[in-house]
Structure 1
Amino acid sequence: MKNKVLITLAICLFASYSNYAQSVKFGKIQKSDFAQSYYEKDSTADAVVLYKKKYTHYDYDDITGWKLVTEIHERIRFYNADGFDNATKKISFYTGGEHENISIKAYTYNLESDAIVKTKLDRKEVFIEEVSENWGVKSFTMPNVKEGSIVEWKISISSPYTTYIDDIICQYDIPIKYIECKVEIPEYFVFNFYPTHYYPLNIKKAKSQKKHLTQSGTVNISQNSYSLKQEFIPALVEEPYVNNINNYRAKIKFEIAAYNPRNGVGKLFNTSWEKVTTTIYESSKFGGELRKSGHFKDDLEGILAQSANQNEEIVNIFDFVKNKMTWNRNNGKYTSSKGIKSAYKEGVGNVADINLTLVAMLREAGIKANPILVSTRSHGIPLFPTKKGFNSVVAGVEQNGKVILMDASSKYSSPDVLPRKDLNWEGRLIREDGSSTKVNLYPKVYNLKNVKLNAKIDTEGVLEGLMVTTYNGLNALEYRTSTASQKEEDIISSLESMHKDIEIEQFRISNKDKCSKPISEMLKFTQDNAADIIGNKIYISPLLFLTVNENPFKLEERLYPIDYASPWSNQTTISLDIPEGYTLESKPEDLSLTLPDQMGDYVLKTEFANNKILVTSKTRLNIPVVSSLYYSTLKELYKRAIENQLEKIVLVQQGP
């Protein structure tokens, strides 16, 4: 009987949501829509998308030809102020050619004194921002949003760019109660279809007929349709160590493969990486720029005169370009409109201006250098052949069967140490003969952090000592970058706060500008209340103020990988003098943990000798990216390591 009741309730619940979805009409809000003070499927949600509908289709007329039309209707309920970010909507549009028509109609609804108060979005509250040479963003934030508000917008976009269909985003940072999407594509346009792999979507494919009016009358055109109707899509929750959360959002991608008009010449688009790279290389703003060398010949002669061998030539040319040219914070696989000659003269340019200059100089020096197309972390991962998949470029030198990677737009990078923004799976190296090959962008060397701490503790729990931290690889690059513009007092203040309010008496950074060497940070410190004093015993954490207290992994299940950007190793060595008259009573158990498939390990060892506590801790990850299949295992390693570090060393005062 109980099961029958549950089944009946489930059917009623499903029916209620289905009826709700069918009855959602723009502007029709009922008092009952405000009834629930939380989302029943996720009581922690700050807001919920009550309804989303997106319809993309093609219209045709004899004057302008094909138009791509996208219609969006969304309704969102807010439960508290933490969800108010979702009251802002951004729409990207192309500015490098014909105009795209975007119309917006939006309202905020509030239930006040048992009446629904409606606030309209004013046109003056819609803003346009230029984000690059060819792209802009139209954005708005809904007015009068409060806890309990419902917002609703209807957006229509008519675009002449018929070969580009926006991704159908089916998962937000807040839950979606109901989503309905449909894409209809005429038979003349051939698109590849790529659904998400990280969250299952119930997509249905079908064929249909659509009537289009022409001067010669009505024409029936066959079309392919893709439709989705789905309920209860959970929020995508972001945890640490993810390259770009949008890579793992439930969505549907479309990529143009061919255009085959009924009367006319067909066109094939990028169907292989070779065709993509050839098209990019043949551009005057890419391969054409690599043939220019007259503007830097004198500088290059001076560099080569100071270099004893090819390795020195590579490093010296790289360092010269880094210091000569400053990145203007714009990515790009193509050079800016002024080109590399002007950018070189002015000393400022986008990523392509700088790194194509580096490739051109290396080639002029007789070094086998080529550009490598990259998709930065913020841009996403190109899973299929497409020009849009790449938005940046770095330099590569082929030497002894390996490729040395360089990005001169980063002042503190070094050969084979790219900035984190570039570390995004694979790039495509393009040679002068038009051939290309994929290149692993992740570092080949470990990202190292080595801490050596020598200190003493007194009977009052006051700790004083000297700590030297050395950084290699990506750690060194990021340390130099983050501290480059900081005053010393600001660095000290940040360290004191991060390390449980230690007081730093002396501070020094070594090798700050010598990128070929490790960078080290020395600090002399004191810390009050560094231990608990109870009776004749002193309780100390084995890693002192370096103890990790919280597990970064909190989800029960994680569907996306754990991305550290580099293999890494953190090692801490502590030598602690204890007060006279005290001895070791107990210590944390020595612990050694190993991840499967030799992915990594953790070790903590505590020793006592000659009135000193000696602690060694090492955590190592041998791969830059850990599959989500190992998430629970990695989470458990962190849990056990933290529990181990939170155990106390107990010192006891010896009797008279």
Structure 2
Amino acid sequence: MTTKKLSLPNNMTPKNNSKKTLCLLCLGLFVSTLSAQSFKLGNVSKHELALTADPVFKDAGAVVLSRQVENRLGRYIDVYERIKIYTPEGYDRATIQIPYTDVEKVKGYTYNLVDGEIEKTKLDKDFIFDDEVVEGVEFKKFTFPKVTSGSVIELYYRATRGTLADLSMQYAIPIRDMDIVIRNESHRNYNILQNPKAFLKVTRETDNTKTIIRATDVPALQEESYVYDMDEYRAKLEFASTGSIYGSKINSFEDIGRLLMKTDDFKRAFKSRHGFNSLLGDILKDAKDDREKAKIIYQWVHDKIKWNEYYGIYPDNSSSRETFTKRKGDLADINLLYLALLRAAKIEAHPALASTRSNGLPLTPSYRSFNYLMVSVMIDGAPYLVDAAHTEARFDRLPEAVINYMALVIYDDGKVVWEEIKEPAHSDEQVMVSLEIDDDLLIAGKAKERYTGYNAFEYASYLKNSSDRSLERIADYALDGFEADAIEVTHDSIRNNVDVTYTFEIEDAIEEIGNQLYLKPLLFLAGDENPFLQEERKFPIFFGYPKRYRYNVTIQLPDGYNLKTLPTPIRLELPDQIGTFMYTISYNQPRNSVQLQSLYQINRSQVNPASYFDVKEFFKQMLEKEQEQIVLIKT
């Protein structure tokens, strides 16, 4: 498909409503008296080096023969890996970036079979460098020397930070044998959670000192199109504290609500102030009902209070007064101020905790399960989730990143209720094109485009962040010979609309054979590649959000030509009202023009993999129709 039509935003299914929990038994601080796991390097055999293909994963370019990890929570993590390189496609596995900071030890060797003997080449420390991935955060990175088809590389490292970070159990290449030993040497208790969206069977052994997790023949995590983040489906371990909010233990979601509402710092952030009354009296003087009041207060907060782009559920400012006075704060500060103003206006409202898509589903009672705070507003007796902080939020539309499962609404008495985060309204792309064909078969035309919802956010973000304010990419379509000019963009931030107009010319879009002309009437709006070509699908299809694309094209035929054939109209419907495609085209003989209307609509953010074959066939037929041509014949 074209970049415009099927661009994915930067989902998760609520049906996975329980995590596989591996309980790490520990009582407070435990200092192990057992010796550390042995990570002896150099046990590479001639048999391993002589292998030309893996006996299990025969097509793999590289395979992890052994992955051994000892994680002493709170102290350090030791990692040993032995990787076999089979083909040039596996060479990139020789470049390693250690996923931890504060690495104390790094040892590595490359082994090759040369004239029947093992050649061992050490990873020189001079080739290990620090890679600053984000400002102030550096990771060790290096490339093993003398790597070729048949090589085995061996790596050991120790890191003293990051022991509580997610621990990967699956790579982009297979893992033949994996052993993970976990010992708790911290001051907290933890549950070990296995990603419930991953397809990996493990064995577990637990005693009062450690947990051992083993797996064999772990398949590679295969990329699929239309996935929000492949890491969401990676087999991995998460260490969830059964710990506390300000020192109190959390055993349930009710504990989270109860403890937050007992915390003065949290409550001060949405305490109503007398100073609010003057503001509310001014901005609400013409409001007729609670909905209108809530929207007016929302717009004031959203416009006047600057978000510092920090997420979280805890306020940074000391009180609602400080946020009101400073006119800035983090996500929790601003939304709790909105809550305070709503209550001052006698509108029922409560804090609501949520988790962004990148943070995962909030399935376990832990402070790490939530990284987002918004407001549940009662309007006409029904709850309404609102975010007044995020720049991509509107009163009737939450940011795309937080359309994820449910929110935990907390009442003043500490009771909690789950509230569904509903699918947003459709985001639209509407394009109207009129064009003419001259005697030299050059196409010239005008276009008007309108974007709403998340589509508009994407364009507004580009306009805001573009260093040179160039508009060329706004009308940049992947079609040879396409050139746009006179581009104008209007952004209505209140209604969240972006309007784009431009003129264009297209060369070589018409094929002339004998006395006939062939032309694809959708031109640069037509898709060209089906993203769903795999024979099967493991993961949900992530469309991001409900979306709708409407195209209207008028073609003025050139003098001396009449219409010979048109594509036939079509209507496609996906089961369960997942989506629709409609294509109609007609000929106006008196005007000698062709009119085309096209609608492509997806009604869900995410679609189950069980519907994959329907979606695959839907896209196949849609793309075939968009590639069909009209035929003109010379009179």
Q: TM-score per shorter chain, which class?
A: 0.7 to 0.9
Flag the 1:456–1:296 CA change in 2: closer, same or farther, 3 A: same
After superposition, give the CA deviation of every residue in 1:408-444 in whole Å (9 maximum; x if it has no partner).
Answer: 3333531121222222222222222322222332434
After superposition, give the CA deviation of every residue in 1:164-198 in whole Å (9 maximum; x if it has no partner).
Answer: 95544221233323322344679x99865643444
**1:249 lines up with 2:250 in the alignment:** no
Give the letter for the 2:536 counterpart.
Answer: E
**1:621 lines up with 2:624 in the alignment:** no
Question: Which of 308, 329, 340 is matched with 1:349 structurally?
Answer: 329
- Corresponding residue SS for 2:470: helix
**1:234 lines up with 2:220 in the alignment:** yes
Question: Which of 133, 153, 156 is matched with 1:154 structurally?
Answer: 156
- Corresponding residue SS for 1:55: strand
- RMSD of aligned C-alpha atoms? 3.8
Paired position in structure 2 for 1:12: none
Paired position in structure 1 for 2:108: 107
Deviation at 1:88, TM superposition (A): 0.7
- TM value normalised by structure 2: 0.81
Question: Which of 534, 549, 559 is matched with 1:580 structurally?
Answer: 559
Question: Which of 619, 628, 634 is matched with 1:647 structurally?
Answer: 628
Question: Which of 392, 397, 405 is matched with 1:425 structurally?
Answer: 405
After superposition, give the CA deviation of every residue in 1:43-81 in whole Å (9 maximum; x if it has no partner).
Answer: 8766543321123468xxxxxxxx666432223456459
Q: Which runs of 5+ in 1 are unaligned?
A: 1-21, 59-66, 93-100, 209-221, 260-266
- Corresponding residue SS for 1:318: helix
Paired position in structure 2 for 1:88: 97
Flag the 1:349–1:28 CA change in 2: closer, same or farther, 3 A: farther
Deviation at 1:462, TM superposition (A): 1.7
After superposition, give the CA deviation of every residue in 1:320-339 in whole Å (9 maximum; x if it has no partner).
Answer: 22222333332211123666
Paired position in structure 1 for 2:201: 202
Paired position in structure 2 for 1:72: 79
Query: 2:479 and 2:322 mapped to 1: Cα distance?
Result: 47
Give the letter for the 1:251 counterpart.
Answer: K
**1:394 lines up with 2:374 in the alignment:** yes
Deviation at 1:528, TM superposition (A): 1.8
Flag the 1:196–1:288 CA change in 2: closer, same or farther, 3 A: same
After superposition, give the CA deviation of every residue in 1:276-312 in whole Å (9 maximum; x if it has no partner).
Answer: 2333444444333112646755544443346454333
- TM value normalised by structure 1: 0.78
Give the letter for the 1:246 counterpart.
Answer: D
Question: Which of 96, 117, 120 is matched with 1:116 structurally?
Answer: 120
Question: Which of 492, 514, 533 is matched with 1:513 structurally?
Answer: 492
Where relative contact order (Cα < 8 A, 6+ residues apart) is larger, the structure is 2
Deviation at 1:594, TM superposition (A): 1.7
Question: Which of 568, 571, 575 is matched with 1:589 structurally?
Answer: 568
Identity %: 25
Question: Which of 555, 574, 577 is matched with 1:598 structurally?
Answer: 577
Query: 1:295 and 1:81 mapped to 2: Cα distance?
Result: 65
Question: Which of 66, 78, 81 is matched with 1:51 structurally?
Answer: 66
- Corresponding residue SS for 1:608: strand
Give the letter for the 1:83 counterpart.
Answer: D
Deviation at 1:388, TM superposition (A): 0.6
**1:320 lines up with 2:321 in the alignment:** no
Flag the 1:400–1:498 CA change in 2: closer, same or farther, 3 A: farther
- Corresponding residue SS for 2:462: helix
Paired position in structure 2 for 1:560: 539
Q: Which runs of 5+ in 2 are unaligned?
A: 1-36
Question: Which of 394, 400, 406 is matched with 1:414 structurally?
Answer: 394
Deviation at 1:629, TM superposition (A): 1.2
Paired position in structure 2 for 1:174: 173
Aligned pair count reads: 587
8 A Cα contact 1:368 1:397, kept in partner: yes
Paired position in structure 2 for 1:16: none
8 A Cα contact 1:373 1:392, kept in partner: yes
Deviation at 1:579, TM superposition (A): 1.3
Deviation at 1:522, TM superposition (A): 1.9
8 A Cα contact 1:419 1:477, kept in partner: no
Flag the 1:40–1:526 CA change in 2: closer, same or farther, 3 A: farther
Aligned 1:112-511 pairs, distance under 5 A: 115-121=119-125, 125=129, 139-143=139-143, 148=148, 152-156=154-158, 166-183=165-182, 194-206=193-205, 208=207, 222=208, 225-240=211-226, 242-253=227-238, 255-257=240-242, 269-291=249-271, 293=273, 298-305=278-285, 307=287, 309-336=289-316, 341-486=321-466, 490-498=470-478, 500-510=480-490
Deviation at 1:649, TM superposition (A): 1.5
8 A Cα contact 1:185 1:225, kept in partner: no
Query: 2:160 and 2:91 mapped to 1: Cα distance?
Result: 33
Flag the 1:226–1:587 CA change in 2: closer, same or farther, 3 A: farther
Flag the 1:296–1:225 CA change in 2: closer, same or farther, 3 A: same
Query: 2:420 and 2:437 mapped to 1: Cα distance?
Result: 48
Query: 1:575 and 1:177 mapped to 2: Cα distance?
Result: 59
